Amino acid sequence: MLHTVKELDGCRILATDGAIGKVKEVYFDDEQWVVRYLVVDPRGWLSGRSVLISPYAVKFIAWDSDAIAVNLTRDQVQRSPDIDTDKPVSRQREAEYHRYYGYPQYWPYSAYWAWGAIPLVIPPDPQIQAEAEAHRRADADQAGADAHLRSSKAVTGYRIAASDDFIGHVADFLFDEETWAIRYLLVDTHNWLPGRQVLVAPQWAQAVNWGERTVSVSLTREEIERSPEYDRHRLPSQDYERALHEHYSRRTQVPDRAKAPL
């Protein structure tokens, strides 16, 4: 099922032995557009820092009560690497985080998550481990300096540049709760189309300019203006998604949510 990232804001994180804090934003990677971490404010418990919770740790999300259960203890979270969430997070810092929790590194893989394991991590066979280690060593020199994580709050507000002009800004993100993949950018076009919001898939983005705070898409303003109307009070059905992709004449396949790839 699809949900908006803003629905995660304020959700309580419940460890196996008590509450940790509340979600204040998410980090997604700018290569595969997948939510990699929940950024949690442990106010009143851990002062002066935020903590990262990986979807690997999520047991379930109770949307009706704004709660997310994780398979971690408060002590584990307290002892986790201190990562400055006000700065870009490098692969080196991510690697330290993953080593601490025993999670596989996702970046050597073309799939959304390493070993197809989300949220339960299942140890791979030795051959897979050897291949992952080879990837890690080959990329070690570059990985330490590369930062591919982006803040959902920082990217909210980026202008959408169609192929012929600007047409709104990023208002939210829709992600698949099975894979945590960001399936759509929710675009607010109120400056051009009063009261109308539209969806744009990340696959249709040509470039993201982090300095100029823009997302360039391979769509014209007219195509976006005439796209199927998005009802912000209802999450899109698969029929709506298919109609959206057909409108843009895109060959991008709408995933079967019951069989979404990991």
Shared domain check, 127 and 27: yes
For strand 166-176 and strand 159-161, is the pairing parallel, antiparallel, or unpaired?
antiparallel
3 state SS of 229: coil
Which residue, of 149, 178, 199, is where some domain finishes?
149
Do residues 132 and 217 share a domain?
no
Residues 128 and 244 placed together within one structural domain of the fold: no
The residue with tokens 């106010």 is 43
Q: Is the peptide bond before 119 cis (omega within 30 degrees of 0)?
A: yes
Q: Which residues of the chain have pLDDT under 50?
A: 119-125, 127-129, 131-145, 258-262
Residue 238 has what pLDDT?
84
Could you give the CA distance from residue 51 to residue 102 in angstroms, rounded to a whole number?
A: 17
Q: Looking at the 3D structure of the chain, how many domains does it have?
A: 2
| 121 and 37 co-located in one domain | yes
Task: Report the pLDDT value the prediction gives residue 253, as an integer from 0 to 100.
Answer: 56
CA triplet 103, 101, 260: central angle to 5 degrees? 35
Are residues 68 and 126 located together in one domain of the fold? yes
- The confidence score (pLDDT) of residue 190 equals 78
Judge if 161 and 246 occupy the same domain.
yes
Domain, as residue range, for 123: 2-149
Q: Are residues 118 and 191 in the same domain?
A: no
Given 93, 121, 149, which residue is the final one in a domain?
149
Query: In this predicted structure, what is the pLDDT of residue 259?
Result: 45
Q: Are residues 137 and 34 in the same domain?
A: yes
DSSP state for residue 209 in the 8-state scheme: E
Domain end, chosen from 149, 176, 205, is at: 149
